[in-house]
Amino acid sequence: GENVEQHPSTLSVQEGDSAVIKCTYSDSASNYFPWYKQELGKRPQLIIDIRSNVGEKKDQRIAVTLNKTAKHFSLHITETQPEDSAVYFCAAMGFKTIFGAGTRLFVKA
């Protein structure tokens, strides 16, 4: 069946460094790829998204890249701050919505 693989499961970086999270999807019908940030006990918050007709999108310190041929998409956070610490989920949406397993990001001050 369709699935989304997300790596790494845990990521620890020093404040100011960059963080990269990668996802791979299998459903060719997926055409919308959002990234969510979830803090403990709270709802997922959309932080950036990209559509299948775009290769890259940037919003301040956050960027997302998409390689539709390889079915890869990645989240890049630059100049990380302690408040970026959370769990990040990628998702691939088309007819179905499939979430990645999540990446727990720790930003050390």
The reply on whether position 34 binds another protein by CB under 8 A is: yes
Smallest gap from Cβ 91 to another protein, in A, equals 8
Please report how close the Cβ of residue 20 comes to another protein at its closest, in angstroms: 19
Can residue 101 be called a binding residue for another protein (CB under 8 A)?
yes
Provide DSSP, 1-69: ---EEEE-SEEEEETTS-EEEEEEE--TT--EEEEEEE-TTS--EEEEEEETT-SEEEETTEEEEEETT
Residue (34 or 84) nearer to another protein, CB? 34
When asked if residue 85 is in the footprint of another protein (CB under 8 A), the reply is no
